[in-house]
């Protein structure tokens, strides 16, 4: 048998290539892993991992081990990115290999595996992501501000009526906006069927917690242990909520059916679901796969958008409570620019920059998602001479990024002034990375920032948040409890809102919140107490 010359060349080239590749692979294997606490044989860092990743521990590790930190648990590599630079270098500049997500069996078991934050990097991810990106571009978000303003006014009215229920008013505000944009439905009262629907989604989302934080995510074999076995408690919750998967189907399908019906009847309000259902009917009628992608996207729109926004607002209110001087400066800015004649709206955004700094500082001081959503690296990678093994779970450690002393002066301090441009201020950069990086960056960030802005700006214009007092008249300063996944300031003491005279409110409950013309009186009354 004779072998042609070109074929021989090909063989030689392939041989040389495989030699080079195997050398590279060997050298990579010899490269050091990123530093981390000492590990045990076989179980790795299991014993050194604290049960909760407190800010103190994470910051101490950052100081001790550097900008990138490595753990391994039973052979699963976990890498923490502690600075914005490292996050940017890997998740943004090398997005092509860092945009996968770890597979989380518990989340799939509960029926949420096909929602965008969980989807592996691939075709389905691209399709789902495109739906969000096309609906939530910065210019398009400018079209949604009327809806945000209406919900802000609703919230103010509710706060005037029942200030003690402020947490629920904030949730209703954040949830009301995403429900309206997602499904084209405006929630008007407590009996609204969409309230039940959203409560169900919240309940399920809470069960899921942070993807990757559940023991079974790291140790799938735990699934086979009895529920009493230490560390296997998830089984109990999983079994107890197996019915959640059935409910989930209803929660996903009901709004789709309603919007489909209203499209046929030509009564549909513009929304994420209506826009995309219409496009589907036009371009791919009867495509069940595409419909399923859309159903999951609509579900996640609410799940990802409501609580993140409401906890961000609560964290900011908490900061205001602790810093009356910041609150006073923000109120003065609004008063100076708006002349105490009306409430702020989006047209004022550029003219009241301190409010913007205050919101950005609130998001930096305690980001709502302090450990983001884990990424997964798809191939072996080398960064600054260290090996990041293929399959590593990569965590954006916003807790450390936001407290980086090289970027922020006195990073633990809540100080909107840090963002004031030089020469008056230090011009420190906004912490935009709290919304993630690269191809997985939060698609709802423009919407979220606008929702938080309108709530905080109108709130500050109309109210003052003050601590309640004990029986001796002393201020009770609440302690914050920032829980892990969605970090929300748990205001342990109730926050004292002024009690207003609701008869001063004009405009009806159902008209979308026309604010009273004499709101000035309301505000003076509420703020000057």
Instruction: Give CA angle at 367 (324, 78), nearest 5°.
Output: 150
For ligand HEM, the closer of residues 128 and 526 by Cβ is 128
Question: Nearest approach, Cβ of 17 to ligand HEM (angstroms)?
Answer: 34
For ligand HEM, the closer of residues 198 and 308 by Cβ is 308
- DSSP run (H or E) holding 217: helix 215-218
For ligand HEM, the closer of residues 160 and 480 by Cβ is 480
For ligand HEM, the closer of residues 218 and 452 by Cβ is 452
- DSSP run (H or E) holding 78: strand 76-81
Measured between alpha carbons, how far is 143 from 281 in angstroms, rounded to an integer?
Answer: 24
Question: Nearest approach, Cβ of 186 to ligand HEM (angstroms)?
Answer: 17
Question: Nearest approach, Cβ of 90 to ligand HEM (angstroms)?
Answer: 11
Question: Nearest approach, Cβ of 437 to ligand HEM (angstroms)?
Answer: 5
Question: Nearest approach, Cβ of 303 to ligand HEM (angstroms)?
Answer: 8
Measured between alpha carbons, how far is 158 from 164 in angstroms, rounded to an integer?
Answer: 10
The token pair that represents 480 in the structure block: 């914050």
For ligand HEM, the closer of residues 295 and 375 by Cβ is 375
Closest Cα to residue 515, out of 348, 339, 344? 344
Q: Is 400 annotated as a binding residue?
A: no
DSSP state of 73: E
Closest Cα to residue 513, out of 140, 176, 171? 176
φ and ψ of 108, to 5 deg:
-65, -40
Question: Nearest approach, Cβ of 436 to ligand HEM (angstroms)?
Answer: 2
Question: Nearest approach, Cβ of 326 to ligand HEM (angstroms)?
Answer: 19
DSSP state of 41: T
Measured between alpha carbons, how far is 458 from 453 in angstroms, rounded to an integer?
Answer: 8
With contact defined as beta carbons under 8 Å apart, do 373 and 440 qualify?
Answer: yes
For ligand HEM, the closer of residues 370 and 389 by Cβ is 370
With contact defined as beta carbons under 8 Å apart, do 304 and 440 qualify?
Answer: no
Question: Nearest approach, Cβ of 34 to ligand HEM (angstroms)?
Answer: 19
DSSP characters for 463-483? ---EE-B-TTS-B-PPPP-B-
For ligand HEM, the closer of residues 217 and 464 by Cβ is 217
With contact defined as beta carbons under 8 Å apart, do 87 and 433 qualify?
Answer: yes
For ligand HEM, the closer of residues 302 and 497 by Cβ is 302
Measured between alpha carbons, how far is 505 from 37 in angstroms, rounded to an integer?
Answer: 59
For ligand HEM, the closer of residues 81 and 522 by Cβ is 81
Which residue(s) pair with 64 in the sheet? Answer: none
Measured between alpha carbons, how far is 190 from 171 in angstroms, rounded to an integer?
Answer: 13
Question: Nearest approach, Cβ of 182 to ligand HEM (angstroms)?
Answer: 8
Question: Nearest approach, Cβ of 433 to ligand HEM (angstroms)?
Answer: 8
Beta strands, E only, 316-474: 375-376, 381-383, 386-388, 393-396, 466-467
Question: Nearest approach, Cβ of 372 to ligand HEM (angstroms)?
Answer: 4
For ligand HEM, the closer of residues 334 and 448 by Cβ is 448
Measured between alpha carbons, how far is 80 from 492 in angstroms, rounded to an integer?
Answer: 31
For ligand HEM, the closer of residues 420 and 441 by Cβ is 441
Per-residue CA distances from 529 to 471, 473, 495, 500, 526 (Å): 18, 15, 14, 10, 6
Site for ligand HEM, rule CB under 6 A: 116-117, 129, 132, 178, 300-301, 304-305, 308-309, 312, 368-369, 372-373, 375, 396, 434-437, 440-444, 447-448
Other beta carbons less than 10 A from residue 17's beta carbon:
10
Residues in the chain: 529
With contact defined as beta carbons under 8 Å apart, do 394 and 100 qualify?
Answer: no
The token pair that represents 113 in the structure block: 């595996």
Measured between alpha carbons, how far is 111 from 353 in angstroms, rounded to an integer?
Answer: 43
The token pair that represents 303 in the structure block: 């799940």
With contact defined as beta carbons under 8 Å apart, do 270 and 252 qualify?
Answer: no
Binding residues for heme, by number, are 442
Could you list the residues known to form a binding site, using ranges. Answer: 442
């Amino acid at each position: 048998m004779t072998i042609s010359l070109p074929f021989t060349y090909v063989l030689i080239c392939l041989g040389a290539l495989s030699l080079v590749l195997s050398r590279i692979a060997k050298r990579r294997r010899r490269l050091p892993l990123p530093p981390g606490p000492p590990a045990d044989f076989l179980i790795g860092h299991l014993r050194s991992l604290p049960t909760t990743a407190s800010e103190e521990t994470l910051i101490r590790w950052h100081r001790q081990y550097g900008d990138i930190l490595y753990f391994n648990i039973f052979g699963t590599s976990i890498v923490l990115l502690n600075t914005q630079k490292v996050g940017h270098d890997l998740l943004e500049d090398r997005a092509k290999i860092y945009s996968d997500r770890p597979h989380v069996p518990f989340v799939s078991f509960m029926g949420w595996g096909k929602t965008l934050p969980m989807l592996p990097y691939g075709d389905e991810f691209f399709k789902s992501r495109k739906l969000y990106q096309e609906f939530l571009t910065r210019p398009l978000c400018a079209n949604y501000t009327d809806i945000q303003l209406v919900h802000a006014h609703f919230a103010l009215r509710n706060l005037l009526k029942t200030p003690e229920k402020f947490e629920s008013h904030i949730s209703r505000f954040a949830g009301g906006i995403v429900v309206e944009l997602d499904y084209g439905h405006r929630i008007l009262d407590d009996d609204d069927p969409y309230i039940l629907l959203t409560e169900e989604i919240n309940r399920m989302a809470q069960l899921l917690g942070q993807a990757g934080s559940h023991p079974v995510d790291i140790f799938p074999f735990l699934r086979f242990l009895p529920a009493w076995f230490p560390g296997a408690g998830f089984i109990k919750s999983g079994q107890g909520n197996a019915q959640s998967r059935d409910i989930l189907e209803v929660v996903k399908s009901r709004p789709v059916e309603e919007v489909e019906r209203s499209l046929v009847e030509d009564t549909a309000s513009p929304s994420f679901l209506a826009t995309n259902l219409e496009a589907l009917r036009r371009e791919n009628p009867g495509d069940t796969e595409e419909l399923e992608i859309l159903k999951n996207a609509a579900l996640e729109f609410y799940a990802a958008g409501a609580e993140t926004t409401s906890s961000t607002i609560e964290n900011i209110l908490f900061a205001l409570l602790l810093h009356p001087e910041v609150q006073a400066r923000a109120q003065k800015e609004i008063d100076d620019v708006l002349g105490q004649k009306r409430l702020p709206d989006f047209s004022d955004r550029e003219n009241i920059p301190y409010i913007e700094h205050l919101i950005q500082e609130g998001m930096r001081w305690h980001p709502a998602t302090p450990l983001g959503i884990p990424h997964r690296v798809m191939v072996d990678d080398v960064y600054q001479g260290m090996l990041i093994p293929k399959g590593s779970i990569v965590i954006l450690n916003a807790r450390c990024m936001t407290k980086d002393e090289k970027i922020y002066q006195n990073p633990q301090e809540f100080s909107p002034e840090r963002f004031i441009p030089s020469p008056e201020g230090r011009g420190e950069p906004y912490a935009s990375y709290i919304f993630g990086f690269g191809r997985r960056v939060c698609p709802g960030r423009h919407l979220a920032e606008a929702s938080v802005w309108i709530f905080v700006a109108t709130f500050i214009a109309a109210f003052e948040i003050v601590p309640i007092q004990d029986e001796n008249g002393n201020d009770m300063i609440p302690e914050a409890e920032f829980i892990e996944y969605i970090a929300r300031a748990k205001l342990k003491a109730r926050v004292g809102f002024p009690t207003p005279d609701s008869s001063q409110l004009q405009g009806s409950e159902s008209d979308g919140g026309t604010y009273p013309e004499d709101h000035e009186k309301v505000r003076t009354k509420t703020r000057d107490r």
